[in-house]
Amino acid sequence: MEFIIDTVNLEEIKDAIEHMPIVGVTSNPSIVKATSPKDFFAHMKEVRSIIGKERSLHIQVISKECDEIVKEGHRILEEIDDQVYIKVPVSYEGIKAIKILKAEGHNVTATAVYDLMQAYMALAAGADYIAPYVNRIGNLGSDPFELINELSNRIVCDGYDCKILAASFKGVQQVRDAFNNGAQAVTAPVGVLKQIFANPNIEKAVNDFNNDWYAIYGEGNGICDL
């Protein structure tokens, strides 16, 4: 399993990687807008500095035509580093760009996936990650977890070196269902991942244990005080 966070907020990133087993950061133009850095590349370099080379960084292009997508991909790689995953929407022009970027040896994340055949095209084109939009697919009346399950089966059946990076989440249940249906990775807002620990029973259990401890050794006397 890979937990990746969908944000470019520097403080959120610092907090998340300090507390949780986060292995990467994803972004898209809407995520960037939420922070609105004046100098995009300087900001993304700061993101890389925070997360290090051991974590993946996924940055999305904005152009619609293949030649411009590839050009933007090259610019991102030049400005940040050659380990960045270029996020490319799986459109007709996008799939062409994915083929070119992979032929050049670059990392690619295929994004904006709503349909299984879209995902199959990205898989055959050599994408390293494929990002189906879980919540958005559900809102359109389709089953995102069926898509993830069938895509996962195809990856295993045909021996592709590719991971499903499920995206677009509104709650923890969707994250759990994505993993349980075959996604190897998820990218979610930090707030969604923090919901995992918002269960009041967790705090109650800790408080009950502490009260029993203090009943023996005295209020305020922790293990290090003995």
Active site residues: 87
CA distance 27 to 126: 21
Question: d(Cα 81, Cα 191) in Å, to the nearest integer?
Answer: 28
Tally of CB atoms within 10 A around 131 = 32
**C-alpha angle 83-88-90 in degrees, rounded to nearest 5:** 145
Q: Which residues are registered as beta bridge partners of 111? A: 89
The owner of tokens 């269960």 is 199
Helix H or strand E segment including 164: strand 163-166
